[in-house]
Amino acid sequence: MADSRRNNRTDSTGNVLILETAAQCFMEQGFATTSIDDVARRMGSTKGRIYHYYSSKTDLFFDVHREGMDRLFKAVEPVMTMNGSGLHRLEEMLMAHALAMMTNVAFEAVVVQGVHMHKLAATTPDQRRTLNELISIRRRFEDLFKQIIRDGIDDGSIREVDVSIAAKAVLGAINWLSIWYQPRSIQTENDKIALAKEIVNIQINGLRPSN
């Protein structure tokens, strides 16, 4: 953890507001051009309020990334234990993932783009440790899908595939929502579900056995 002030990032409404505002700024402007001043200005606050929690823009960015991953885990993990074949559970997990991406699009844009932006960036030793932690969290999330794909292969509901490649392929399709999806005020929850089903069905149909 880069700074002890980051241990309680969602313990107060004020800090949640910082994360939500920062996520919007990073999504719209990118990490390089977003400043703490930008986040504070959008909040209608002072940057001192942000520095109360975060020592740097990088630490704030990492915490937005971590919060985005937390939201994905909370959406997907409950579905893993439901009854049904591996293919059915994978379909439900991908639906939960897609809907979470749309609901939290700013956070998930940071999740998808964040680690790649920082792989070659200058970081402090503490920030490097945090980056490694975030990479590990992303891998654990992918592992959830690998396990369900293995289960599907074992029960015959998923054709024989390279589990790692299959997991990356289906997750990549869902993650791309963070790039092209634009929330609209007239969009209903049913609209989101229909969009998620369209995307997920394409992935699931590619994994069904041929006979």
| pLDDT > 80? residue 163 | yes
CA dihedral sign of residues 27, 28, 34, 36 = negative
* pLDDT given for residue 117 in this prediction: 64
Give tens-digit pLDDT for 41-51. Answer: 999 999 999 99
| pLDDT > 70? residue 53 | yes
* pLDDT given for residue 127 in this prediction: 76
User: Which CATH number is 63-205's, of 1.10.357.10, 3.40.50.150, 3.10.400.10, 1.10.1200.10?
Assistant: 1.10.357.10
| Torsion-angle region of 85 (φ positive above 0: left; ψ -120 to 50: alpha; else: beta) | beta
Can you tell me the distance from the alpha carbon of 180 to that of 127, in angstroms, rounded to the nearest whole number? 29
